Amino acid sequence: MLNNKIKVGFSCHADSFSAGKEAALEAIGKHDGVPKVLFVFGAMRFNHRELLAGITSVAGDVPMVGGTTAGEISTNGFSTGSVVIMAFSNDELDFITGIGHDMSIDEAACSMEMANDILNNIEFDPDASLLVFPNGMGGDGLKVLDGLQSVLGKDFEITGGYLGDDERFESTYQYYNGSVFKDAIVGVMMVKKKGFKTGIGVRSGFTSIGNSFICTASDGNVVKEFEHSNALELYKDFLGEERSSRLPAVCLEYPFGIIDRNPSDNTQSLFQLRCGLSVDHKHGTISLAASIPEGSEVTLTTASRGDIINGAREAAEQAKKSLAGATPLAIIMFSCVGRKLVLGRRIQEEVDAVRECIGMDVPLIGFYTYGEIGPIDKDTKELSSVKFHNETVVLWVLGKG
């Protein structure tokens, strides 16, 4: 069976080497053939060199991408303090890995280096699919996408998640071909053959709570003005006195939504969410995980726990629809740490919603992120370019017709 060529391993062993080895044995030990690539996502608690040494003691020099998280996701469900691995050994798929360095110095140059590292080892295929894992504390997420698209083009399929550090918000680690890196972007390009398809779902569950307004001044990922007024004061006016007293933490509950209007359907507004990370009361500015470009139409959004879980279900339905009848073989899930914090004890329900829609027996891996990457709608030309998101679920689903 095709599913037997994609396996998931899991471990929460206290010892780092043993955890890596145990998860690798589960993912690789049952394989039909040598894996072509490993996706590895691990908690910050590990000694990361020892963790990867445990994995390579089983996997040898199998190419590897991944890194640290704000919570792990696998077929077992949500977990913390664990390592999860997905191994692909399909003969009909090719995987090429790449890395870019010094992301915090120049995000675009770093992502361009990673993309070119991949293209140096494979002929460009416009139908391939790229998954990327940037340093989650490395700067403006939009600049990462600008670099990737300058090399690959605006229409190239890109998904991924910004790596985390268990909500410490200090620094993250990237895993690449058995070694540990800091301040890097790692990625893997998958070339599909013989009827394989990819489905992508991108939804949040957040909805607008008021009228839209225009960003009139911003500098990188720092917003200065909305409607030619002090950005922070306007945000406070929307929030009210009680909620404003909880800044910046309340930003997780009330992110900004950059409106993407489908030109063929003016009744539907879709959002690229932007979550505030910090505020400057003296200068009246808000720092975000990625920039809101000047001239963008913006609205304030919110969601209940039920809405957030339903957003995951909608993302799964969207991904399944875009497979166009192909049988799902694997799911890689990226969900924002903000969703995790708002969901609290109900976090497992988000993972369950995805599995119930796409298939309980479909291998699943993923992590809670510091930002998500994916198109608003892969199947609508005007919305198919990759975007940066917060507070969103992005699903990458491999299928075969």
263 pLDDT above the threshold of 70: no
157 vs 7, 197, 386, CA distance in Å?
24, 12, 7
Please give the average per-residue pLDDT across 208-223, as a whole number. Answer: 91
In this prediction, residue 119 carries a pLDDT of 98
Is omega for the bond preceding 248 within 30 degrees of 0, making it cis?
A: yes
Distance between CA atoms of 137 and 163, rounded to whole angstroms?
Answer: 8
Chain segment 316-362, per-residue pLDDT in tens: 999 999 999 999 999 999 999 999 989 999 999 999 999 999 999 99
Per the model's pLDDT, the better-predicted residue between 21 and 139 turns out to be 21
Asked if residue 128 has pLDDT above 50, the reply is yes
Q: What is the pLDDT of residue 2?
A: 43
Q: Which of 221-235, 240-254, 257-271, 379-393 has the highest mean pLDDT?
A: 221-235
Q: How many CB atoms lie within 10 A of CB 283?
A: 12
Among the listed residues 297, 311, 365, 371, the one whose alpha carbon sits nearest the alpha carbon of residue 41 = 365
> What pLDDT, on a 0 to 100 scale, did the predictor assign at position 261?
66
User: Whole-number mean pLDDT of the chain?
Assistant: 93
Q: Report which of residues 11 and 267 the model is more confident about.
A: 11
276-301 pLDDT, tens digit each: 888 999 999 999 888 899 999 999 99
95-124 confidence digits (pLDDT tens):
999 999 999 999 999 999 999 999 999 999
Q: Do the Cβ atoms of 221 and 287 come closer than 8 Å?
A: yes
pLDDT tens-digit map of 350-393:
999 999 999 999 999 999 999 999 998 898 888 888 999 999 99
- In angstroms, rounded to a whole number, what is the distance separating the alpha carbons of residues 163 and 156? 22
Ranges assigned E (strand) in 183-284: 185-191, 196-203, 207-208, 213-219, 222-226, 229-230, 256-262, 265-274, 276-280
Both tokens of 126, joined, read 């416009």
Taking the CB of residue 168, how many other CB atoms lie within 10 A of it? 12
Q: What's the pLDDT score for residue 22?
A: 97
**Torsion angles phi and psi, residue 171, rounded to 5:** -160, 150
Q: What percent of the chain is predicted at pLDDT more than 70?
A: 96
